[in-house]
A and B are shown apart, each in its own frame.
Chain A
Amino acid sequence: MTLLVVSGLTVRDQAGTVLVEDVSFTVEAGERIGLIGESGSGKSLTALAVAGLLPPGITATGTALIDGVDIIAAPVDMISASEKARTGVRGKIVSTVFQEPLTALDPLMTAGRQIAVPLRRFRGLRGSALRAAVGAALDEVRLTDTDRIAGSYPHQLSGGQRQRVAIAMALACRPRLLIADEPTTALDVTVQAEILDLLDSLVAAHGSALLFITHDLPVAARVARHTHVLRSGRIVESGPIAELITAPVHEYTRTLVAAARRFDAALEGLTRD
Chain B
Amino acid sequence: MSRRRSVHLAIGLALVGLVVGAVLMSYLWLPFAPDDTSGGRLTAPGGDHLLGTDKLGRDLFTQLLIGGRIALGTALGAVAVGGVLGVGAGLLAGFATRWRDDVAAVTLDILIAFPTLLLAMLIVAGAGASLGTAILAIGLAMAAIVARLTRVLVKQVLTRDYITAARIAGISWPRIVLGHVLPNIGPVVLVNLALQAGLAVLAEASLSYLGLGTPPPNASWGRMLFEAQATVLTAPVAALAPGLALVVLVVGVNLSADGLRDLTDPTRRRSR
Mark A residues whose CB is within 8 Å of B: 14, 48, 51, 53, 55-57, 77-79, 87-88, 90-92, 94-96, 98-100, 103-109, 114, 117-118, 121-122, 151, 153, 155, 166, 169-170, 173
Q: Are B272 and A151 in contact (CB under 8 A)?
A: yes
Residues from chain B with a CB closer than 8 A to the CB of A91 are: 168-170
Q: Are A78 and B162 in contact (CB under 8 A)?
A: no
Q: Assuming the A-B contacts A78-B95, A108-B184, A155-B266, are A87 and B170 also in contact, with contact meaning beta carbons closer than 8 angstroms in the complex?
A: yes
CB-nearest residue of chain A to B97: A56
Q: Is B173 an interface residue (CB 8 A)?
A: yes
Checking B161, B170, B173, B272 against A79 with a beta-carbon cut-off of 8 angstroms, the contacting residue is: B173
* Interface hits, B163-221 → A, CB 8 Å: 164-173, 179-180, 183-184
Q: How far is the CB of B128 from chain A (nearest CB, A)?
A: 42
Known: A106-B160, A117-B171, A122-B170. 18 other contacts (CB 8 A): A51-B164, A53-B164, A53-B168, A55-B159, A56-B98, A57-B97, A78-B173, A88-B170, A91-B168, A96-B164, A103-B161, A105-B162, A106-B162, A107-B266, A117-B179, A121-B170, A121-B171, A173-B169
9 closest A-B pairs by CB: A91-B170, A56-B97, A87-B170, A104-B161, A98-B161, A106-B162, A155-B267, A118-B169, A108-B183
Of B170, B172, B179, most buried by chain A (CB within 10 Å of CB) is B170
Residues from chain A with a CB closer than 8 A to the CB of B179 are: 109, 117
Checking A14, A94, A117 against B166 with a beta-carbon cut-off of 8 angstroms, the contacting residue is: A117
Q: Are B167 and A153 in contact (CB under 8 A)?
A: no
Checking B162, B172, B180, B267 against A104 with a beta-carbon cut-off of 8 angstroms, the contacting residue is: B162
Q: Are A98 and B98 in contact (CB under 8 A)?
A: no
Residues from chain A with a CB closer than 8 A to the CB of B169 are: 91, 95, 117-118, 121-122, 173
Q: Are A98 and B164 in contact (CB under 8 A)?
A: yes
Report the bound CA distance from A103 to B157 in whole Å: 9
Report the bound CA distance from A106 to B165 in whole Å: 10
17 A-B pairs with CB atoms under 8 Å apart are A14-B98, A77-B97, A79-B95, A91-B168, A96-B164, A98-B165, A100-B161, A103-B160, A104-B160, A106-B162, A107-B267, A108-B266, A117-B171, A121-B169, A121-B170, A121-B171, A155-B267
Chain B contact patch, size range: 20 to 34
Residues from chain A with a CB closer than 8 A to the CB of B95 are: 78-79
Q: Are B168 and A94 in contact (CB under 8 A)?
A: yes
Q: How far is the CB of A171 from chain B (nearest CB, A)?
A: 12
Residues from chain B with a CB closer than 8 A to the CB of A79 are: 95, 173
Report the bound CA distance from A85 to B30 in whole Å: 65
Residues from chain B with a CB closer than 8 A to the CB of A94 are: 168
Report the bound CA distance from A107 to B165 in whole Å: 14
Report the bound CA distance from A111 to B179 in whole Å: 14
CB-nearest residue of chain B to A173: B169
Report the bound CA distance from A221 to B238 in whole Å: 81
CB-nearest residue of chain B to A89: B170
Report the bound CA distance from A95 to B167 in whole Å: 10
Q: How far is the CB of A188 from chain B (nearest CB, A)?
A: 20
**Contact indicator per residue, chain B 228-243, by CB within 8 Å of chain A (1) or not (0):** 0000000000000000
Report the bound CA distance from A202 to B184 in whole Å: 32
Residues from chain A with a CB closer than 8 A to the CB of B184 are: 106-108
Q: Are B168 and A103 in contact (CB under 8 A)?
A: no
CB-nearest residue of chain A to B160: A103
Checking A88, A96, A100, A106 against B180 with a beta-carbon cut-off of 8 angstroms, the contacting residue is: A106
Report the bound CA distance from A90 to B172 in whole Å: 13
Q: Are A51 and B165 in contact (CB under 8 A)?
A: no
Residues from chain A with a CB closer than 8 A to the CB of B171 are: 117, 121
Q: How far is the CB of B139 from chain A (nearest CB, A)?
A: 28
Q: How far is the CB of B159 from chain A (nearest CB, A)?
A: 8
Residues from chain B with a CB closer than 8 A to the CB of A96 are: 164-165, 168
Residues from chain A with a CB closer than 8 A to the CB of B159 are: 55
Report the bound CA distance from A118 to B171 in whole Å: 8
Report the bound CA distance from A100 to B159 in whole Å: 12
Report the bound CA distance from A57 to B100 in whole Å: 12
CB-nearest residue of chain A to B182: A108
Checking A57, A103, A170 against B98 with a beta-carbon cut-off of 8 angstroms, the contacting residue is: A57
Report the bound CA distance from A122 to B172 in whole Å: 13
CB-nearest residue of chain A to B267: A155
Q: Are B168 and A51 in contact (CB under 8 A)?
A: yes
Of A98, A100, A106, A173, most buried by chain B (CB within 10 Å of CB) is A106
Of B95, B165, B183, most buried by chain A (CB within 10 Å of CB) is B165
Q: Are A90 and B266 in contact (CB under 8 A)?
A: no
CB-nearest residue of chain B to A48: B164
Residues from chain B with a CB closer than 8 A to the CB of A118 are: 169
Report the bound CA distance from A103 to B180 in whole Å: 12
